[in-house]
Chain A
């Protein structure tokens, strides 16, 4: 790639989300908006290497895209004139709204986020579209991150745009009750991207830090677009704190290192600090009792983040937070984690009391971590034979080879 092309690509990455958002306000069609923005990019690639990069490249892109948008609308209107004779409504107002392209960016970018993460789309489609439109990533970059061929991602994006157009998804920021539900859908997409980087579901590498960075950037953008939403800050806090452990959680042989065994000097303390600050913002916005699952998970992650060594962990606080999380978003996995924290805070007997709940046993049938955690508690209580049986059962249920090896080894060490 030439220097000019690299510069243009960088400018496009910075400007395209805002540009597409502005264009989508006029065209009411995200797919078309992206095509117009792409047209402007192609023009830049032709002109800038000859004419030089303009002093204000952002304004240049907006102007160029605006001319294209007006051309498009004129063509549509000619088409509509024919339609009018057939009884359709004209859309005269559109040229006027094209002038609003120069207005300061308001809710448009947030509108773009909501469209890209619209529930009418599949998770795969939402992830690809969000990284493309809001993250400004190229199709090749997204394909590389997810270890799939570029045409697959390109197809996914084309289909997603078609689904949005067919479903007539309005380009707007949802209001009132709808906002909370739609925001949850947006946060879910960002966290999906993060988790694919944090514990990759495909490929030779267990983590893909670049995807975590992409998700973090999206999350930070989102938190600034919706600064009054505690869950947005909660998600950012959760991701910053989890990302701080990225290098510390992998052993030289590539196997995972558990949280309590990590060398905390290798945590990224800048990210820990950022995570704690984001959590403070979230907590200030949401009084106790109203805190959502991301804020609560971040609060739990922060307890570990504040402990300079594993032995300094405030397990009683973590157990209480899991209790609060279970109340906000009940789930057997949360209950299992609460049992671990209670075990650390109050001893193995207290953990066992939670783990032996028949409802929990039923809900987690076949899940290897239940016998694994139970085996630990039994071992601590000196009930060795039962403990070994549980760990062996856990090893049978584990699907990940490295985890299975670890469980077999733990069972063996019990003697």
Chain B
């Protein structure tokens, strides 16, 4: 199964300050371990939310809100995609991760299982049928 490992932002990471070289070095070593263990599929660090935007949906209306956004703890500073045997294994690996925001007291990493639609029998087939109907009606 796959997990998204979400490194939450902090005030410091949102301020746009460079991460420390020491933290980057430790993270580099950790990344190498993940690759050697065969679990690392993907990952990246995100720029501060000041470089991002949000699109709010309300009926047919779309409102664009430019960053930065407040509530640093709700924001994402980086992510990985891992392939693990269980949530417990993903938790064990996260425990071994160096502190992504050294010096900060509210640093947090969230682990979320990536959804597998095959767990919902029939749903994908139904969606596919609708998709085909829509495509046919456009022709």
Verify if A11 is at the interface (C-beta below 8 Å from B): yes
Interface hits, B28-54 → A, CB 8 Å:
35-39, 41-42
Task: Using known A-B contacts A216-B83, A247-B118, determine if residue A14 contacts B37 with beta carbons closer than 8 Å.
Answer: yes
A14-B37, A213-B83 known; A270-B92 Cβ under 8 A? no
Contact A14 B92 (CB under 8 A): yes
Task: Establish whether residues A217 and B88, one from each chain, have CB atoms under 8 Å apart when the complex forms.
Answer: no
The number of A-B residue pairs with CB atoms under 8 Å apart is: 51
Q: Are the C-beta atoms of A270 and B42 separated by less than 8 Å?
A: yes
Question: What residues of chain B lie closer than 8 Å to A218, measured between beta carbons?
Answer: 38
| Contacting pair B41 A270 (CB below 8 A) | yes
Shortest beta-carbon distance from B40 to chain A in Å: 8
Given contacts A220-B35, A221-B36, A224-B35, contact A13 B41 (CB under 8 A): no
A9 within 8 A of B: yes
* CB contact between A219 and one of B38, B39, B41, B85 (< 8 Å): that residue: B38
B38/A13 in contact, CB under 8 A: no
In the complex where A252-B128, A274-B41 touch, is A13 in contact with B36 (Cβ < 8 A)?
no
Give the complex CA separation of A274 and B92 in angstroms. Answer: 25
Judged by a CB distance under 8 angstroms, whether B125 is at the interface is: yes
Check A14 against B125 for contact (C-beta < 8 Å). Answer: no
State which of B38, B93, B118, B124 has its C-beta within 8 Å of the C-beta of A217.
B38
Q: Which chain B residues in 104-131 approach chain A with CB under 8 Å?
A: 118, 124-125, 128
Roughly how many angstroms separate A356 CA and B118 CA in the complex, as a whole number? 43
CB distance from A382 to the nearest CB of B (A): 30
Residue in B1, B85, B118, B124 whose CB lies within 8 Å of A13: B85
Which residues from chain B contact A179 at a C-beta distance below 8 Å?
A: none
Q: Is the CB of A252 within 8 A of B88?
A: no
Question: A262 vs B37: C-alpha distance in the bound complex, in angstroms?
Answer: 32
0/1 string, B3-22, CB within 8 A of A gives 1: 00000000000000000000
Tell me if B24 is interfacial: C-beta within 8 Å of chain A.
no
A132 to chain B, nearest CB (A): 13
Contact code string A215-258 (vs B, CB < 8 Å = 1, else 0): 01111110011000000000000000000000100001000000
Q: Is B66 an interface residue (CB 8 A)?
A: no
Q: Which residue on A lies nearest to B32, using beta carbons?
A: A224
Which residues of A sit under 8 angstroms from B35, Cβ to Cβ? 220, 224
Within 8 A of B (CB), among A101-142: 137, 141
- Main secondary structure on A side of the interface with B: helix
Min distance, Cβ B135 to any Cβ of chain A, angstroms: 11
| B38:A11 contact, CB within 8 angstroms | no
Question: Which residues of chain B are within 8 angstroms of A13 by Cβ–Cβ distance?
Answer: 85, 89
Q: Tell me the chain B residues, 67-107 only, with Cβ under 8 Å from chain A.
A: 81, 83, 85-86, 88-89, 91-93
Give the chain B neighbours of A225 by CB distance below 8 A: 36
State A220–B128 Cα separation when bound (angstroms): 33
Indicate if the CB atoms of B38 and A14 lie closer than 8 Å: no
Asked if A82 is an interface residue, CB under 8 A from chain B, the answer is no
Q: Mark A1-18, 1 if CB is under 8 A from B, else 0.
A: 000001101110110000
Measured CB to CB, the nearest residue on chain B to A6 is B88
A247 to B91, CA, bound (A): 27
- Bound-state Cα–Cα, A270 to B42, Å: 8
Cβ–Cβ contact B36 & A10, under 8 A: no
- Return chain A residues, CB-CB under 8 Å to B124: 252
A6 surroundings in chain B (CB, below 8 A): 86, 88
Complex Cα distance A221/B128, Å? 36
Quote the shortest CB–CB distance from B43 to chain A (angstroms): 11
Cβ-defined partner of B92 (8 Å) among A11, A213, A221: A11
CA distance A238 to B86 in the complex (A): 25
Instruction: For A271, give the chain B residue with the smallest CB separation.
Output: B41
Interface members, chain A 51-93 (any B CB < 8 Å):
none
The answer to whether B93 and A221 touch across the interface, beta carbons within 8 angstroms, is no
Interface residues of B (CB under 8 A from A): 1, 35-39, 41-42, 81, 83, 85-86, 88-89, 91-93, 118, 124-125, 128
Q: A10-B85, A221-B38, A252-B128 are in contact. List 19 more A-B contacts (CB 8 A).
A: A9-B86, A10-B86, A10-B92, A13-B89, A14-B37, A14-B89, A14-B93, A137-B85, A216-B83, A217-B38, A220-B35, A220-B38, A221-B37, A224-B38, A252-B124, A252-B125, A270-B41, A270-B81, A274-B41
The 4 lowest CB-CB distance pairs between A and B, nearest first, are A220-B38, A10-B88, A217-B38, A252-B125
Please report A residues at the B interface, Cβ cutoff 8 Å: 6-7, 9-11, 13-14, 137, 141, 213, 216-221, 224-225, 247, 252, 270-271, 274
Q: List 27 A-B contacts (CB under 8 A).
A: A6-B88, A7-B91, A7-B92, A9-B88, A10-B85, A10-B86, A10-B91, A10-B92, A13-B85, A14-B93, A141-B85, A213-B83, A216-B38, A217-B37, A217-B38, A217-B83, A218-B38, A219-B38, A220-B35, A221-B37, A221-B38, A224-B36, A225-B36, A252-B124, A252-B128, A270-B41, A274-B41
